[in-house]
Amino acid sequence: MTDTPQNDRVVIFDTTLRDGEQSPGATMTHDEKLEIAAMLDDMGVDIIEAGFPIASEGDFAAVSEIAKNAVNSRICGLARANFADIDRCWEAVKHARLNRIHTFIGTSPLHRAIPNLTMDEMADKIHETVSHARNLCDNVQWSPMDATRTEWDYLCRVVEIAIKAGASTINIPDTVGYTAPDESASLIRRLIETVPGADEVIFATHCHNDLGMATANALAAVAGGARQIECTINGLGERAGNTALEEVVMAMKTRHDIMPWTTGIDTTKIMAISRRVATVSGFAVQFNKAIVGKNAFAHESGIHQDGMLKNRENFEIMRPEDIGLSGTSLPLGKHSGRAALRDKLHNLGFDVGDNQLKDIFVRFKELADRKKEVFDDDIIALVRVGEDAENDTLKLVSMKVVCGTGGPAEATVEMEIDGRDVSASETGDGPVDATFRAIRALHPSSAHLQLYQVHAVTEGTDAQATVSVRLEEDGVIATGQSANTDTVVASAKAYIHALNRLIVRRGKMGQGADSREISYKDLT
């Protein structure tokens, strides 16, 4: 595989594990990062930006491990414009069969003021750091952060310097989602036409979605001559997010008549990785999200349903099978066996081992006893439930909640904490508040509840509720999720899941594994 494209080939550079993980609360564990990286590698992503190695020992370890395990993708690390960052980045990515150093500096007037550098001083720094990176690695990417708000003459000057210093990819970031499609295309086109040596490098685009135009801006940049798109799964990222991988890939595939470019992405793997990223990040995909939203292939209007029955092309421009969805959502029931469940899981993009299938089957049978029909979305919710339970410090044993119009809700919760059963009863403003108070009575914590989110997995009064809980304590953020037909039970399990993840992360910070010694929000 090569990341030097032909004229119609667009390189897909995925930064879910770097820029995507910078979304507040989206921090992933080491094992989760490795799992997502393996899925990206398998689906044909050309370049995986695996992290920011100097940010922490945890980031360095994850990037190094991903680099060692990569089969097809080029593994990239991020570095600021200084030798220490670049050296640390190289130490992490050098293990990969194909590697890259991505170094950056803010070039707009606002960003130049942060290090208080003159234009000439910054130009010298760019030459020195890109040259240093190139001496270590034969594949260097350089980014002028906030490029779309950088003066034109100065942008041309520093891009030329980076090319002469050895950068083989020039990334033009729209760091704050400021630009519009016509400007995006024009900027890339003018740089290629103006800057000496521009025809010898790949130009890349990195767009944020603050004005809702990230996908449009990225595709416009390709029309202007860019041949690398930086993106994330589900559009995950800072503030309003980044360009969504699934959107640009499917746009080029579906409208190839007006966007005659290709990628190496196996689109049938999109739904599986979208679901997994949503789970590990704690960021649920909105129902009306393009391509991967729950409603993307749903038709409720009578006119639409009639049109679909006559010819699906009346109201569908893509086939659900093209992104890894089964064309139907046929339910299983309590009489379904392991073979049927395994086949269903495979069709949904989950290839599980015998032990994992056994665990999922037990939960499936329990759910099937409570529900008449178990649909695809119910099964997806079951897959990840209980994954971390074996080594958890805190476990829910039982709970009972009394609530109604006659007074405050009361919750009695029994938990296992370090192998010892304890219980507590608390009242609160509603059943969930009472339950959380009881859990805090058993495990005192100063963690602040940043997010409490509930959505029904399927329809009906017997639907599973998926609950997401995000906790923050002393700058450490952890997200927990759980699904259950009882919303309060799901809430308790999600809260306890988040507390367990906080315990793990505090322990790692004590060992120096995950402490973030530097801030790297809003880098590109």
Q: Which parts of the chain sit beneath pLDDT 70?
A: 1-6, 24-25, 298-316, 326-331, 372, 384-391, 458-459, 507-524
Percent of the chain with pLDDT over 70: 88
pTM exceeds cut of 0.75: yes
**180 with 217: CB under 8 angstroms?**
yes
At 512 the pLDDT is 44
Token pair 């990417």 is found at 141
At 414 the pLDDT is 97
Which amino acid belongs to residue 242? N
Interatomic CA distance for residues 96 and 73, integer angstroms: 9
**87 with 94: CB under 8 angstroms?**
no
At 389 the pLDDT is 58
At 306 the pLDDT is 44
What 360-365 contacts at long range (C-beta under 8 Å, 24+ apart), as own/partner pairs, is 364/332, 364/336, 365/334
At 2 the pLDDT is 41
Interatomic CA distance for residues 42 and 71, integer angstroms: 8
At 520 the pLDDT is 38
DSSP 251: H
Please report which helix (H) or strand (E) contains residue 473, including its range.
strand 465-473
Other Cβ atoms closer than 10 A to 486? 14
Delimiting residues of CATH 3.30.160.270 domain(s) in the chain: 390-510
DSSP 195: S
Give the contacts of 359 (CB within 8 A, at least 6 positions apart).
386
**77 with 63: CB under 8 angstroms?**
yes
**137 with 90: CB under 8 angstroms?**
yes
Delimiting residues of CATH 3.20.20.70 domain(s) in the chain: 11-281
Please report which helix (H) or strand (E) contains residue 101, including its range.
strand 99-106
DSSP 464: P
**488 with 432: CB under 8 angstroms?**
yes
The alpha carbon dihedral of 278, 283, 287, 292 has a sign of negative
At 327 the pLDDT is 58
Interatomic CA distance for residues 275 and 350, integer angstroms: 10
Of 205, 181, 202, give the one whose Cα is nearest residue 192. Answer: 202
Give the contacts of 181 (CB within 8 A, at least 6 positions apart).
213, 216, 217, 219, 220
At 158 the pLDDT is 98
At 386 the pLDDT is 52
Chain segment 71-84, per-residue pLDDT in tens: 999 999 999 999 99
Which amino acid belongs to residue 167? A
CATH architecture of the domain with range 390-510? 2-Layer Sandwich (3.30)
Interatomic CA distance for residues 204 and 162, integer angstroms: 14
The alpha carbon dihedral of 109, 115, 119, 123 has a sign of negative
**CATH assignment, 11-281:** 3.20.20.70
